[in-house]
């Protein structure tokens, strides 16, 4: 096989468009110079539609987890009560961040592979009226679940005066997000997934209601102080040294999204999800989630008659195709396919075809081409 060829089909980091790679290779500029100021001026308005907000989107140099921690440390303080909805490993991470800051954390745990229901959250908030914020995961990367954040937001704001804070790291840019219309108070994402960039940037949009809470929050913070980012962004700057090369890439990403059209981007992700799910249904290999709960950006598969990690090993060795494994108690029991960002139906067809060969080598008796055909038929429909 070609030593330089890597077929990356994990739910982040995701492949980088060549034009974005070229943009990131531009000569370095001073981060306090006029060129960077103008770069941020061009970027700012084009980020807003991806979040569905009229608020400015703050840019932090750091991973998606830095964005999640910023959402916690800016809105609540030690002793405050919060509710964290845990539908997988990244909901669990939100809970761990809260616990690290000595915040009284209520967990609402959902079976991994299932989405949370808004009725359950209504009941929980009525039971615990002192909760100051509700944290949820939009797309739970570890399970391929897309939680109904619009319905949850309505439940939160109808039955409490709390903030609703959402981790959108593995789906913003690939699924519709209407932060303002849905009444989400903070929406976070990262650069390395549907945003088609390398890891290194976190994006955080904040509602007016959340800013009022942040202004009055006495919890100490320094690098992750969102007020610093807001005030500097108003002046087309950043409070600390930004990842300038990633900003070059971000400008090109936003240009590519504009060229394709945001609705077409969302439709492409829906199509890739349906093609992937149809393929595994045709191959009689169980999916972890229902169609209703499925994410357009990542699909989790739970095989019953072959080893998930053995299939992953074969595909990596034979085809340089990388898929993700399971996390925590699902380790070794599932594999996950990322179909987000710089990914097309052609990439899905390639992936399914290669997986069918891997299944044979892993010892599963299956008809070659059956999954690929099912995906092709979805595309043609």
pTM over 0.75: yes
> What is the token pair recorded at 31?
């981060």
User: Each residue of 1-12: pLDDT tens digit?
Assistant: 788 899 999 999
Same domain, residue pair 94 and 211: yes
- Residue 1 belongs to some domain of the structure: no
Where does 176-217 show beta strands of DSSP type E? 186-190, 201-206
Span 199-237, pLDDT tens digits: 999 999 999 999 999 999 999 999 999 999 999 999 999
The three-point CA angle 201-207-208 to 5° equals: 135
List of residues 6+ apart from 358 with CB closer than 8 A? 311, 314, 315, 318, 319, 321
- Centroid of chain to Cα 87: 14
Percent of the chain with pLDDT over 90: 98
What is the pLDDT averaged over residues 51-57? 98
Task: Say if 293 falls within a structural domain.
Answer: yes
Of 216, 239, 258, the residue at which a domain comes to its end is 258
What is the β-pairing status of strands 335-338 and 321-325?
A: antiparallel
Say which CATH number the domain at 269 has. Answer: 3.90.1150.10
Cα dihedral value 305, 309, 310, 311, nearest 10:
80
Using pLDDT thresholds of 50, 70 and 90, give the confidence band for residue 302: very high
Q: What is the mean pLDDT of residues 339-343?
A: 98
Q: What is the CATH number of the domain that holds 254?
A: 3.40.640.10
Which is it for the CA torsion 140, 142, 143, 144, positive or negative?
positive
Q: Are residues 92 and 154 in the same domain?
A: yes
> For residue range 64-78, what is the model confidence (pLDDT) as tens digits?
999 999 999 999 999
Are 200 and 227 within one domain?
A: yes
Whole-number pLDDT of residue 2: 83
Whether 296 and 251 share a structural domain: no
Q: Is residue 220 part of a domain?
A: yes
Residue 2 lies in a domain: no
Domain residues for 74? 18-258
β-bridge partners, 336: 300, 324
Domain match, 154 and 297 both: no
Residues 250, 329 within the same domain = no
Burial letters for 167-177: b for 16+ Cβ neighbours within 10 Å, e otherwise? bbbbbbbbbbb
Could you tell me if 54 and 146 lie in one domain? Answer: yes
Domain count, the chain: 2
The pLDDT score that the predictor gives to residue 197 is 98
Distance CA 167, CA 187 (A): 6
Residues 228 and 359 both lie in one domain: no
Span 87-136, pLDDT tens digits = 999 999 999 999 999 999 999 999 999 999 999 999 999 999 999 999 99
Same domain, 326 and 230: no
- Percent of the chain surpassing pLDDT 70: 100
The first and second tokens of residue 128, run together, are 């615990």
Determine the pLDDT at residue 244. 98
Euclidean distance between CA atoms 236 and 233, whole angstroms: 5
Q: Are 213 and 250 in the same domain?
A: yes
Q: What is the pLDDT of residues 253-268, one digit of tens each?
A: 999 999 999 999 999 9
User: Does residue 92 lie within any of the structural domains?
Assistant: yes
Tokens of 43: 């970027």
Residue that finishes a domain, picked among 193, 224, 258:
258
Q: What number of other Cβ atoms are within 10 A of residue 368's Cβ?
A: 12
What is residue 150's predicted lDDT score, i.e. its pLDDT? 98
Write down the pLDDT at residue 88. 97
3 state SS of 362 = coil
> Mean pLDDT over all residues of the chain?
97
Going by pLDDT thresholds of 50, 70 and 90, the confidence category of residue 346 is very high
First vs last Cα of the chain: how many Å apart? Answer: 34
Peptide bond into 213 cis (omega under 30): no
8 A C-beta contact, residue 135 and residue 101: no
Phi/psi for 163 (5° steps) reads -80, 150
Residue 3 has a pLDDT of 82
Both 62 and 51 in one domain: the answer is yes
Let me know whether 178 and 233 are in one domain.
yes
């Amino acid at each position: 096989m070609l030593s330089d060829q890597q077929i990356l089909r994990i739910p982040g980091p995701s492949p980088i468009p060549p034009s974005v790679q070229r943009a990131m290779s531009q000569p370095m500029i001073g981060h306090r110079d006029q060129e960077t100021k103008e770069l941020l001026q061009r970027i700012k308005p084009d980020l807003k539609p991806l979040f569905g907000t009229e608020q400015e989107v703050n840019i932090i140099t750091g991973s998606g987890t830095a964005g999640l921690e910023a959402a916690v440390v800016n809105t609540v303080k030690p002793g405050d009560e919060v509710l964290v909805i845990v539908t997988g490993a990244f909901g669990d991470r939100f809970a761990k961040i809260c616990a690290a800051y000595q915040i009284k954390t209520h967990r609402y745990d959902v079976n991994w592979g299932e989405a949370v229901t808004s009725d359950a959250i209504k009941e929980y908030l009525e039971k615990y009226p002192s909760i100051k914020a509700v944290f949820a995961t939009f797309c739970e990367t570890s399970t391929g679940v897309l939680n109904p954040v619009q319905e949850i937001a309505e439940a939160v704001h109808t039955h409490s005066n709390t903030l609703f804070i959402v981790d959108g790291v593995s789906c913003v840019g690939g699924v519709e997000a209407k932060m303002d219309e849905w009444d989400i108070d903070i929406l976070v994402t990262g650069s390395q997934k549907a945003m088609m960039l390398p890891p290194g940037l976190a994006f955080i949009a904040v509602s007016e209601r959340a800013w009022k809470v942040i202004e009055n929050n006495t919890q100490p913070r320094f690098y992750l102080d969102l007020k610093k980012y807001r005030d500097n962004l108003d002046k087309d700057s950043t409070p600390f040294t930004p990842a300038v090369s990633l900003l070059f890439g971000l400008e090109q990403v936003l240009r590519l999204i504009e060229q394709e059209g945001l609705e077409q981007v969302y439709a492409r992700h829906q199509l890739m999800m349906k093609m992937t799910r149809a393929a595994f249904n045709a191959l009689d290999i169980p999916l972890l989630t229902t169609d209703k709960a499925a994410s357009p950006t990542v699909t989790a598969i739970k095989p019953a008659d072959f080893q998930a990690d053995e299939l992953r090993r074969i595909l990596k060795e034979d085809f340089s195709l990388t898929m993700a494994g399971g996390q925590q108690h699902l380790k070794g029991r599932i594999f996950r396919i990322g179909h987000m960002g710089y990914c097309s139906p052609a990439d899905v067809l390639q992936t399914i075809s290669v997986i069918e060969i891997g299944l044979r080598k892993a010892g599963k008796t299956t008809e070659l081409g059956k999954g690929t055909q099912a995906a092709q038929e979805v595309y043609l429909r």
